[in-house]
Structure 1
Amino acid sequence: MITIDARKCARDGLCVQACPVNLIRMDGGAVPEEIGGAADRCIRCGHCVAVCPTNALDNALTPAEDYRPVPEDRPDAEAMENLLVSRRSARAFRNKPIAREQLERLLEAARRAPTASNAQQLSWTMIRDPQRLDRVRELSIEWMSGNPARSHYVETARQGRDVILRNATALAVVHGPADYLWTAIDGTIALTYMELLAATMGLGTCWAGLVTAASAAIPDLLPALGVPAGNKVGGAIMLGHPRLKHLLVPPRNAARVTWL
């Protein structure tokens, strides 16, 4: 699985330190080598290849030729903090579709999000068809109609307001195997990547919590969301061009922290 060019290898042991499942060993000043059975236990994280400063190591499961350099142009801490504190949920969208190229860019970023043990079990549905979005609204309202705690949503919907998707022109749905323990957590991280990038692109997002909750209760909603049998929804967010612009950062509760 692992091959090392001894002429390039600095014998610094960085690959040994980087492997999260201890599949590489190094005896003294020798060239590192994989341990027996490594190919069966490798999680394909790519760390062994990514940390080698001399490009001496290759992993057949994640070939070095498929890697790309880490971008040098990255936001500093202040710019990143400004993005995080200024991001707002959009609950009013313009009637303007998002270009497919922009949606593909969001998906590209989301697929880079970390997953448990690099499992990469997530799949996506990007819904743009107006009739399909209407079907999602219809089934979600049907789910809420039998729940007194959601009666205000139902009444608002009867008044003509879209309480499900807020007139968003796209809905990103992330899903994974029903028996995979981390579908919701992995999905949440991926959707967070997506919404933060969307904020830098001038797009609005809002977590579709009602759709996510309804998907667990109404079997007919899963096909409408493009989720195949055997999978469950890990989360969803509305996407669109925001109708409103936030000029202030609202207050939030102080962090409740226990320092130990």
Structure 2
Amino acid sequence: MDFIEVDATRCKGDGLCVLVCPSGCLEADDRGGPVAVDPAVCNACGHCVAVCPHDALTHSRVAAAEVRENLPTWPDAAVVDAMLRGRRSIRAYKDKPVARAVLAELIDVARYAPTASNVQEVGWIVTDDPAKVRELAALTAAFFAANGARPKYTAMWDRGLDYFLRGAPALAVSYVPADAPFGAADCGIALTFMELAAVARGLGTCWAGLLTHAAKHSAPLREALGLPQGMVVEGGLMLGYPKVRYPGVPPRNPARLAWL
């Protein structure tokens, strides 16, 4: 198969595929159809295939069978805004397991998050086992106890209170290659996708910042996570069903804003 193939009976020469190509590997021919002028710079984003309303273009690096139909319209802005404003960081969870199938759905959504240059290098370590989450919390607590940071949380841990992973029944950790130039941003965006997908399914989440920090310095924690060699943890989410519902949305500080 060529880099791109165009069905001349379907192509209308509207130039949409050329317009949306972010890398400049496509140009229009004299009929307005696409021509691959520099395949080496293509990052396989799939924009050219996804934008064509005529299903006229196939791409050797974009699996046609995996192209999903998009929504014809987006949800109402008021609904989306209310969801974004109403999301809370959940630190109290029901004693109810999170099904592995639900976690798999969240990963499937999160993999559609944008990454720098479409590298798609974000990896995941996920557990639906509360005992494993407790083990990871203990290793996180041990790290902070050893270096004297967060003494209040250490004292609470000693009293049987988990302020590190909050007794969450499930946990998702994201990682990237240590030399990924935008790895932290890529993981943060992917985790945000996951968080919003989780909220839409009735789950609560809280960012696992303490575990993320500990994983950068604690070899036992990285080993317990099974972190692949050469990778670095850049974020995590506690996941579970909230014990409480928040009927109100508290205020936030005014935006620090400068118009240019």
Normalization by structure 2: what TM-score?
0.94
Q: Mind listing any 5+ residue stretches in structure 2 that lack a counterpart?
A: none
Say whether the 8 Å CA contact 1:3–1:58 is kept in structure 2.
yes
Say whether the 8 Å CA contact 1:132–1:224 is kept in structure 2.
no
- Percent sequence identity over matched residues? 44
Most deviating of 26-35 and 219-228: 26-35
How many pairs align?
A: 258
C-alpha displacement of 1:63: 3.2
Q: What are the Cα deviations for residues 22-66 of structure 1, in whole angstroms up to 9, with x where unaligned?
A: 111113335321114x0x321110001111121111111103332
Give the aligned partner of residue 167 of structure 2. 167
Q: Secondary structure at the match of 1:33?
A: strand
Say whether the 8 Å CA contact 2:134–2:167 is kept in structure 1.
no
Q: Secondary structure at the match of 2:135?
A: helix
Q: CA RMSD in A?
A: 1.4
Q: Report whether the alignment pairs 1:116 with 2:107.
A: no
Q: Report whether the alignment pairs 1:28 with 2:25.
A: no
Give the aligned partner of residue 15 of structure 1. 17
Most deviating of 139-148 and 80-89: 139-148
Q: What are the Cα deviations for residues 197-240 of structure 1, in whole angstroms up to 9, with x where unaligned?
A: 11121111000000000001111111212311111102001001
1:45 and 1:14 mapped to 2: Cα distance? 15
Pairwise mapping of residues 13-92 of structure 1 onto structure 2 (< 5 A)? 13-36=15-38, 38=39, 40-72=40-72, 74-92=74-92
Give the aligned partner of residue 3 of structure 1. 5
C-alpha displacement of 1:178: 1.2
Q: What are the Cα deviations for residues 74-108 of structure 1, in whole angstroms up to 9, with x where unaligned?
A: 42111100100000010011111111221111111
Q: Mind listing any 5+ residue stretches in structure 1 that lack a counterpart?
A: none
Residue type at the aligned position of 1:126: V
1:246 and 1:221 mapped to 2: Cα distance? 33
2:112 and 2:219 mapped to 1: Cα distance? 30
Go from structure 1 to structure 2 and tell me whether the alpha carbon gap of 1:237 and 1:30 turns closer, same or farther (over 3 Å shift): closer
C-alpha displacement of 1:180: 1.2
Go from structure 1 to structure 2 and tell me whether the alpha carbon gap of 1:30 and 1:131 turns closer, same or farther (over 3 Å shift): closer
Q: Secondary structure at the match of 2:219?
A: coil
Q: Report whether the alignment pairs 1:205 with 2:201.
A: no
Most deviating of 147-156 and 248-257: 147-156
2:237 and 2:193 mapped to 1: Cα distance? 12
Say whether the 8 Å CA contact 1:127–1:225 is kept in structure 2.
no
1:229 and 1:124 mapped to 2: Cα distance? 14
Most deviating of 121-130 and 207-216: 121-130
Pairwise mapping of residues 184-223 of structure 1 onto structure 2 (< 5 A)? 184-223=184-223
2:128 and 2:99 mapped to 1: Cα distance? 10
C-alpha displacement of 1:123: 1.1
C-alpha displacement of 1:177: 1.0
Q: Secondary structure at the match of 2:72?
A: coil
1:170 and 1:85 mapped to 2: Cα distance? 24
C-alpha displacement of 1:148: 4.0
